[in-house]
Amino acid sequence: MTFELYREVALARDIPQEGLRRGDVGTIVDRFPAVAGEEGYALEIFNTLGQTLKVVVVPASAIRVLSTSEVWSARALS
């Protein structure tokens, strides 16, 4: 699946080396061509006040679209 730039997406799995968990939300800020079969995406992760915490690069399989049945949540970044 190809995701649009600047779309908010959720992580489909934990990324422990970055302190991120499945369900955390980020904004796609760049897309990288497929290497070995899978596109990559740069996600900007914000805190609850809208300040950038980090930018991470993940494969397409690590993100998913948001659904209308989900709610926002807050937690401390580990």
Return d(Cα 75, Cα 24) in angstroms, integer: 9
Query: Could you tell me the strand order of the sheet in which 38-46 lies?
Result: 52-59, 38-46, 25-35, 8-11, 63-65
Which pLDDT score is estimated for 71? 93
More confident residue, 2 or 17: 17
pLDDT at 78 over 80: no
Domain coordinates in residue numbering, the chain: 8-65
Task: Please give the span between the terminal C-alpha atoms of the chain, in angstroms, as a whole number.
Answer: 30
Which pLDDT score is estimated for 42? 98
pLDDT at 68 over 90: yes
For range 36-62, the mean pLDDT? 94
User: For residue range 8-48, what is the model confidence (pLDDT) as tens digits?
Assistant: 999 999 999 999 999 999 999 999 988 778 899 999 999 99
